[in-house]
Structure 1
Amino acid sequence: MTSRKSFYLVREDMLTEAMEKTLAAKELLELGKVKKINEAVNKVGLSRSAFYKYKDGIFPFHKVVKEKIITLSIILVDRSGSLSQLLGKVAETGANVLTINQTIPLQGRAHMTLSIDTAPMKLDLDELMDWIVGLEAVEKVELVGTGS
């Protein structure tokens, strides 16, 4: 009988320092900035034993999301061209907009949900969210769901 492992989604600020450093070391290795584990752990200030303890159990969210459809909650400033600018930025990434739901703007702000097929996307999810929040008309963006 095999034991089944449970998985949890944990916010970044809840991770231990060793877990954060493990992720940093893994990224250095993936990007080719270092060649060996020893170099990576030394660079981030982590013991090899801590790295081996966590390396197979902690991953950035965007690397393990199997579903290709995400839903974002966005607060958008009510200004001519805001929605067009947002959709243009999403299109630049190669993602495909599936649904848009937007409230009537109140006090100069509109709440919207945007469902996106990320399969053809050229960026990872974190980069997409950074791009969106970087738009002048966007006040807030949150990932509210994934699905298939």
Structure 2
Amino acid sequence: MAGQKSGFFLVREEILPEAIKKTIKVKDLLKRGEARTINEAVEKMELSRSAYYKYKDYVFPFYEASREKIVTLALLLEHKQGVLSRVLNTIAGEHGSILTINQGIPLQGVANATVSLETADLSIDLEALLDKLRMVEGVKRLEVLGQE
């Protein structure tokens, strides 16, 4: 184990221990100004200070991990005029920098597309952007393929 590199994992929130979930919430309270001090935030979340300090540098929301990264999205789009354009406009409207676009030939009324974007200048967090993209008319499916 000595000299082994640390890795990052994408883990669903519901399997995390309560102390880790509460640590994330404490960090969020502090960031949003809903608590002025660490003591106040840990008390609100009923978390010990020692647990907070143990985990605070190791856990963060997905959108924080994706800041200033390149994210590749896989989309399944209806074969209708303007769907890809609305997807791209949504990304551009939130200051995402689109790097690559690939779209397959439509089959059975749908087309697969991949879009790579840089997230450094996003005006909203990545999770919020993904939610917005899922709401675009004609987007049937959206998945994050990878991050660099």
TM-score (norm 2): 0.84
TM-fit CA distance, 1:104: 1.9
Correspondence for 1:131:
132
Amino acid at match of 2:12: E
Aligned partners of 2:66 and 2:119 also within 8 Å: no
- The SS at the match of 1:62 is helix
TM-fit CA distance, 1:89: 0.5
- 1:109 and 2:110 correspond: yes
Correspondence for 1:8:
8
Unaligned regions of 5+ residues in structure 1, if any? none
Q: How do residues 23-34 of structure 1 correspond to structure 2 at under 5 angstroms?
A: 23-34=24-35
Higher deviation after alignment, 6-15 or 114-123: 6-15
C-alpha separation between the residues in 1 aligned to 2:147 and 2:10?
15
Seen in structure 2, the aligned counterparts of structure 1 residues 65 and 81 have a Cα distance that, compared at 3 Å, is: closer
Amino acid at match of 1:86: V
Unaligned regions of 5+ residues in structure 2, if any? none
Seen in structure 2, the aligned counterparts of structure 1 residues 103 and 60 have a Cα distance that, compared at 3 Å, is: same
TM-fit CA distance, 1:133: 1.3
Aligned partners of 2:71 and 2:118 also within 8 Å: yes
Correspondence for 1:20:
21
> Which string of whole-angstrom CA distances, capped at 9 and with x for unpartnered residues, describes residues 3-55 of structure 1?
66512213223322221111011011011111112221232332323212211
TM-fit CA distance, 1:123: 1.9
